[in-house]
Amino acid sequence: MTDPLEDDRPPEKITLAFSVASRIQIDSVRIFETHAHARLENGKLPSHLELHRTAITTQDDAAKQIVVQVAFRFGANYVQDFAPVERSSLFISAGYRATYTIKKPGKATDEQLDAFGELNAVYNLWPYWREYVQSVLCRMGLPPFAIPVLPPSKPTPQKHLAGTSKSKPSHKGIEAKAPPTKKSKPTTRAVKK
């Protein structure tokens, strides 16, 4: 699995997503499915964390809409490399539906729609997901955990004025950190997709 916060946005994918994003306007964001459970051992918080996301994008020409459904999942466990995430000691999931109105006519290809859903829609829905996880943890009586923000795209390599050397990307990725407790030290683990 790859890191969902890792920059997986090559310029070609950004171009495909832009071809859709430049023709639409977001209308609504709805949550359509949620689930959460906490099965903690002796009140200790799990420290191995995983994040997953899946996007499905469709275009409805008759309604002049593009609809993207994104399923987000957060899991925490006491052991590393646990599967599936749904069986985690601490699990939170939410499905969001973003509806966009097509402002400029044109049919998007499946490749363009997929790129738009994976990049733009996930970026649009990520703040809702971050808030939801923090809210659910608080309602469970657990310490809040802030899902990291999505990193910006890596800079496009550019030529320096004097020559042809390329600039180095500044993005190094983001890691999730388990909240510290009185009984355990914080543990860091790369977030997975």
Model pLDDT for residues 88-100, shown as the tens digit of each residue: 899 999 999 999 9
The helix or strand, by DSSP H or E, that contains position 18, with its residue range, turns out to be helix 11-21
pLDDT computed for residue 179 by the predictor: 43
- Check residue 152 and give its pLDDT: 53
Question: In Å, how far are 29, 31, 88, 96, 130 from 146, measured between CA atoms?
Answer: 21, 19, 18, 19, 7
Confidence at residue 79, expressed as pLDDT on a 0 to 100 scale: 87
Domain 11-149+174-190: top CATH class: alpha beta
Mean predicted confidence (pLDDT) in 111-118: 95
pLDDT in tens, 32-86: 999 999 999 887 889 888 889 999 999 998 999 999 999 999 999 998 877 778 8
Q: Among the listed ranges 17-21, 26-30, 78-82, 159-163, which one has the minimum average pLDDT value? A: 159-163
In the DSSP assignment, the letter for residue 143 is -
Task: Pick the closest to residue 141 from 96, 181, 98, 84 (CA basis).
Answer: 181
Predicted pLDDT at 176: 42
171-192 mean pLDDT: 38
> What is residue 151's predicted lDDT score, i.e. its pLDDT?
63
- CA 120 → CA 78, 110, 114, 124, 150, distances in Å? 33, 15, 10, 6, 11
How is the chain split into domains, by residue range?
Answer: 11-149+174-190
Q: Where are the alpha helices (DSSP H) in 104-150?
A: 110-116, 122-139
Report the half-sphere exposure of 162 (CA within 13 A, side-chain side).
0
The distance of Cα 190 from the centroid of its chain, to the nearest Å, equals 14
